[in-house]
Amino acid sequence: MSWFTASAFARAGDKEAALDWMENAVNRGFLNGAVLTDHDPFLANLRGEERFAALIEKARKGAEAAHG
């Protein structure tokens, strides 16, 4: 649900709220970085943000740890 909320805030142009919800999603186990970086067009306006890049890295590391 947090990812959907992040996407909605991103569409509305509220980058900080979108990033807050995206951080919540990653912290709760949403580790599919490909969805965040490639497949969700509504997050496009966040992709140049430093905080977005840090969340993607955190999701990537979490996914690697989960898959061994």
Task: Please give the pLDDT value at position 23.
Answer: 94
pLDDT level of residue 6 (50, 70, 90 thresholds): very high
Residues 52-63: tens digit of each pLDDT: 999 999 988 888
Residues 7-32: tens digit of each pLDDT: 999 999 999 999 999 999 999 988 88
Among 7, 39, 40, smallest CA distance to 21 is for 7
Give the separation between CA 30 and CA 12, rounded to whole angstroms: 22
Domain boundaries, the chain: 2-67
Residue 68 scores a pLDDT above 80: no
- Between the alpha carbon of residue 68 and those of residues 26, 47, 61, 65, the distances in Å are 18, 27, 10, 5
